[in-house]
Amino acid sequence: MNKFAKWGLTLPATIAVTLLLVVPVLITIATTFGEPKGVFSTYTAFFNSGFRTNILYRTLRIALITTAISLVIGFLTAYVIAQMPGRLKSIAIIAAVFPLLTGVVVRSFAWLIILGKNGILNSSLLSLGIISEPLSMLYTEGSVIVAMVYLFVPLMILTLTGVLEGIPRDVVEASASLGARPIATFFQVILPLAVPGLIVGAVLVFTGSFTSYATPQLLGGEQMMMMGTLLYQRAMVTFDWVGASTIAAIMVVITIAVVSIMSRIARRLNPMAV
């Protein structure tokens, strides 16, 4: 009876996910195989285009760099927060996640004001005499990565704080009592136990940055076009729905592949992580 009750509870959610997520994705992918030129003609045309492959490599590169930087910053911040006393910890968590209360477009637009030629950063550097003329910081990979990290680090902090808080202090103290140095305790005890949070955070940041549209559009423009902006352009500007579906299918496959690789790495680092 309990078994049937569990199935009854999960069945509505399973049906909803299947109808609203799985089926539309499968239909989108299926439309890419119906071209008269050949089953894989749309994918061949995509990968034979240097312009499109450059956008794909750029998107993958920016997403991986954003994920790596967010992992480092998020882990260090979450580790510090996890060591704080109760009230101070709550304040720190609120401060860390406060940017999430603002829309993505607003947060991305703020970087236009900061990084523009007449922006806050250039004005500060000019007033200090560090530079003699404004720097061109917008519409570069660096500006997109900086904005992406700012957007996704709060998610990483939220994910890792709970994991680090869950590590028993007895385990850390036992490592120290057995003669392990702090750095050895960190790499041999704390880091392996934090692998589940690291993988979840990395997946969230990678998928978010790989599929992002607003931030690359505002801070990258046409010069630093990414897959999200290319997808929008194909669907809403040129109305090339088959081409847009091809881009979406490629993004889905790459995301699944990267998540699978991250899961394999997690199993190697900690067999109990995944």
CB 147 within 8 A of CB 220: no
For 54-269, the fitting CATH number among 1.10.3720.10, 3.40.1410.10, 3.40.640.10, 3.90.1150.10 is 1.10.3720.10
pLDDT of residue 169: 76
- Maximum C-alpha span of the chain: 77
| 178/241 Cα distance (integer angstroms) | 63
Q: What percent of the chain has pLDDT over 70?
A: 94
CB 70 within 8 A of CB 205: yes
**Burial degree of 67 (CB within 10 A; 0-12, 13-18, 19+):** buried
Q: What is the mean pLDDT of residues 119-132?
A: 85
Res. 274: pLDDT tops 50: no
Q: Average per-residue pLDDT in the chain?
A: 84
Higher pLDDT, 191 or 73: 73
**pLDDT tens-digit map of 7-45:** 777 788 888 888 888 888 888 888 888 766 766 788 888
Q: What percent of the chain has pLDDT over 90?
A: 17
Measured CA to CA in angstroms, residue 274 lies from 94, 261, 268 at distances of 29, 12, 10
Higher pLDDT, 104 or 265: 104
Q: What is the mean pLDDT of residues 222-251?
A: 88
Q: With 0.95 as the threshold, say if the pTM is over it.
A: no
